Amino acid sequence: MRSLLSFVAIVLTFVGYVPYVRSILRRETKPHVFSWIIWGSTTFIGFFAPIEGGGGAGAWPIGVSGTVALLVAFLAWRFRGDTSVTASDRLFFGLALASLPLWYLTADPLWSVVVLTLADTLGIGPTLRKAYRYPAEENLTFWTLFVVRNGVASAALERWSTTTLLFPVVTGASCLGLVFLVLWRRSIAPDTDPSSGV
């Protein structure tokens, strides 16, 4: 059953990413490049910690997502997404990279997951800033699918512990927060065309 849930989570990953990538190529969605670099790095690194912690097949959707997130970062850069980089953006990226030596020094993947989750959560900052200013440029279908995907991936984990659950649960909550922010901003900005961001 957990393998089936893992497969469903991977399918949801592609169901979410394919239209999202298509909307980037059509220049309808303009993702923040550095957010996606941070997310791709943290997610891909974070894939190994649940594997180490006994997450099994449930961790595979995280690895797939990390790989595709780095592709989105490249496409965002190539197709003129938001390329503004602040000092805090650099700090978040540094935190993501710091998780590897921390994991090595402590020999405990939990500390790496804590640092990665913190960096990943803070890394949504640039996207939140952009979504607040330009809510129509975010794809709500994509973010909603990733809330569901993270829930399914969490259920698919072969072993539930802080090490295996922290990253997907907090990431799903961050996506949900972004969805609510975009819905709220669109509701008070009727002159913004929401159809261009879905």
Global pTM value? 0.66
pLDDT of residue 195: 42
* Mean pLDDT of the residues in the chain: 77
b vs e for 41-52, b when ≥16 Cβ sit within 10 Å of the residue's Cβ? bbbbbbbbbbbb
Instruction: Average the pLDDT over 117-137 and give the result.
Output: 79
* Cα–Cα distance for residue pair 104/81, rounded to 1 Å: 35
3-state secondary structure of 104: helix
**pLDDT of res. 52:** 67
Please state, in angstroms and rounded to a whole number, the distance separating the CA atoms of residues 88 and 171.
19
Cα 183 from chain centre: 19
Cβ–Cβ < 8 Å for 20, 75: no
Higher pLDDT, 73 or 35: 73
CA gap 62, 154 in Å, rounded = 10
Closest CA relative to residue 137, chosen from 146, 145, 128: 128
Write the pLDDT tens digit of every residue in 36-72: 887 787 777 767 766 666 666 667 777 888 888 888 8
